[in-house]
Structure 1
């Protein structure tokens, strides 16, 4: 009996997060035993160059020596106290220092929890109920936001989920990513009723989709004019595009920012932060209640601190950009050599190959991709030792631990696989 078959006896679908089940690409998931640097190893000992990076958190690679060493020190003193520690202050200081719009930050345990809490805070601050999200953007699995979502919900053709009350869904208005007119229309139809607009500044859950032109600037302006809070979901882009995230990269000043993934250095963590006036509405200072037994636990704080310190070192992002660009340019060149006109979107160390021709600038563009072709591509790459996300609608991530040899090998295998598939 395979591990997957055994897992299905005890765990729904055999996995603890749906996309891991390989539902959209077929076959059985690979069970991993360890990771080091840019590589992961399955239970049979096979090595893979990893571009999933635990779905984004591992920007410095697997089992980074500095992070592991720090965790060993901290774990000797205990894993959780349910009481304040100095580590919480240290990580909070780094976040406030790095992220331009954040004056205060609250630590939580996941991205979903961060977004859920940010929405509650925005509703309390504005005394309004409705929120705007964008089709294909994924903000975790809380009820209000699991409407026309991306990520696993898109992979499994469930953009909305059973169990989400209609009453909740009615408070969530849907706009089209990269279409500012669709946003303005919602504001016109719901005058003085919208508490917040939440957006992935670079969409990463319908594949990588970049904001066009002045879209984010215009969105910021609309929100300010309407007295609505702008929430940047930087759970993927936070510390990924730049030290200060997408808001630094694009020069936007959101009211609230949600963080996750990289901020925990590979451990479960989330955070939300923003202007002091807004954040001081949170209990125990203000009336908005939010709590968590393991929030700010020492292990997650220590891993996050070490990660952010590494990212703050001079030249970190320049080096990461250089190796990422080499990979993306290699992929484009391979497609050109083979006469393939598939869309490829990338920004810094995030990228996606879409199996469709033309541009991908919206959810409607992304879902035109040929998922069967992606499944074939995925399995052929996996067989040759390259680990990609088991879904067309996710991102590839490059880490600082990927070597020149890794990049060259990946480009070579990418060419071989496309040539096998399209016979050129």
Structure 2
């Protein structure tokens, strides 16, 4: 049995933790089987409790952009921990990382650190509502912004109908203020704006979607959203929890050439520790307490360990911008190789790639959540478990982007391509 120790640990975990996991995707419900338990990681590799080694393509869902246990980050955390792990009092490192982040990202003047991407997106929406004195928001089917009530809404029966809660515990009152549009579909956004004239505070989206697999904004989509927001006095929020400091030094705003009004961050900004942040121009950020009336707080916000890890990561990326081209080149190489491997099967498939994000879909084309949902999940399950047996760890869901890290060698990429060819030939 390949995963004997992991299976035993999972059985034990289920006695004390709901579903045996602290985040649902880890349970392998989408792909079947039982999750592996990791005991350590280094560079491009993770090592499970059964002493098996895997080439890692989730990179802790994005933050390990330079590989696991990146020495400058590890050393910064060790040094900071020796001085104390939390104070609930201002520290210099908070200002240091804020100054650095603002210098790297276009179109932001101030940044507020929180503890997760969920908290960042929740706070950004509250700030947008407070700034505009309007209640409703538009989000896109298939874009995930954390598990705050405002975002756990499923589509209504048509473009201008209200959504409904897709999780018990989310009220109908919350749902009525969240409107659902289709990604890459400007017309669906226009209909919502027309039907709710003067009531919409913000449009929030992942500028590159990563939670229906990697889905790329089509030509003119983001520019069109920017124009609609300007025309109707709506704030545009980019959820850059995945894309921030990954697609480029300045994230998706820089990479795609579109300015947002509020930007949220996570993943890379914490160097692997729990961190989130949201940022905007002075005019908007001045509405935050203690300067303004919009309240947001957190005892562990700006935690010195997380700030030290994030500063070490961002500082390295700022001083070594060639990392982004290196990652892009490796991702393009992987894309080409996977495309050749998948061409040998009759199973419909497509590969979406942008920067260092990539995903394989077992369907013809994926441009939004509806087309992503057309993917053949049975083939994906076979592909996932086949790759796992070959020592390749992919996201255990057809609706998640892969994330490359720069510790991956071209030998690792070749091994991945060879594994994919072997697996699809068994279909």
Structure-2-length-normalised TM-score: 0.95
Q: Confirm whether residue 89 of structure 1 aligns to residue 112 of structure 2.
A: no
Matches within 5 A, 1:2-401: 2-148=8-154, 160-312=166-318, 313-338=320-345, 340-356=347-363, 358-401=364-407
Secondary structure of the 1:82 match is coil
- Superposed CA RMSD: 1.2
Equivalents in 1 of 2:29, 2:322: separation in Å? 40
Query: Residue 155 of structure 1 corresponds to which residue in structure 2?
Result: none
Aligned residues: 412
Displacement after TM superposition at 1:272 (Å): 0.2
Counterpart secondary structure, 1:9: coil
Offset of residue 93 of structure 1: 0.8
Q: Is the 8 A contact 1:95 1:102 kept in 2?
A: no
Deviation at 1:339, TM superposition (A): 5.1
Counterpart contact for 2:334–2:417, Cα < 8 Å: yes
Contact 1:121–1:282 under 8 Å retained in 2: yes
Deviations 1:75-125 (A, max 9, x none): 110111101111101110111111112110000000000011011000000
- Matched residue, 2:159: none
**Structure 1 regions of 5+ residues with no counterpart?**
150-157
* Deviation by residue 1:156-185 (Cα, 9 ceiling, x = unmatched): xx9811110000000000011000011011
- Cα separation, 1, equivalents of 2:45 and 2:290: 44
Contact (CA 8 Å) 2:165, 2:172: kept in 1 or not? no
- Gap runs ≥5 in structure 2: 1-6, 156-163
| 8 Å CA contact retained: 1:206, 1:393 | yes
Give TM-score scaled by structure 1 length: 0.95
Please tell me whether the aligned partners of residues 331 and 353 of structure 2 are also in contact (alpha carbons under 8 angstroms). no
The question of whether the paired residues in 1 share the 8 Å contact of 2:269 and 2:275 is answered with yes
Q: Is the 8 A contact 1:136 1:148 kept in 2?
A: no
Give yes or no for contact 2:124–2:264 (8 Å, CA) kept in 1. yes
Aligned to 1:420: 426
CA deviations on 1:336-365 (whole Å, 9 max, x unpaired) are 244554111010110110011x21111110
